[in-house]
Amino acid sequence: MGKKKESFENMLEKLETIVDSMDNGEITLEDSMKSYEEGIKLCNKLYKVLKDAEGKIKILENNKEEDFESS
């Protein structure tokens, strides 16, 4: 059974929680390292989602321009 894809908003919220927990300085070094690793993975996933969205927007904009030019 496949994993359910997490929404951008959920991943961003998790990242914000990680940053907050690391900022308050109340977690151990070991937990900080685990949180940092998880945060980096989330950043990479979020970046990919944004790049994919950017690509789709560019395609839509190009199609829109072609529609106007052919009118």
Q: Taking a C-beta distance cutoff of 8 angstroms, is the pair 15, 39 a contact?
A: yes
pLDDT at residue 67, as a whole number: 65
63 in a structural domain: yes
Number of structural domains (the chain) is 1
| CATH code of the domain containing 13 | 1.10.287
Q: pTM (2 decimals)?
A: 0.77
Question: What is the distance between the alpha carbons of residues 35 and 48, in angstroms, rounded to a whole number?
Answer: 20
4 in a structural domain: no
Tell me which residue range forms the domain holding 15. 9-70
Q: Taking a C-beta distance cutoff of 8 angstroms, is the pair 46, 15 a contact?
A: yes
3 in a structural domain: no
60 in a structural domain: yes
24 in a structural domain: yes
Question: What is the distance between the alpha carbons of residues 57 and 53, in angstroms, rounded to a whole number?
Answer: 6
- The pLDDT tens digits for 17-41 are 999 999 998 899 999 999 999 999 9
35 in a structural domain: yes
Cβ neighbours of residue 12 closer than 8 Å, sequence gap 6 or more: 46
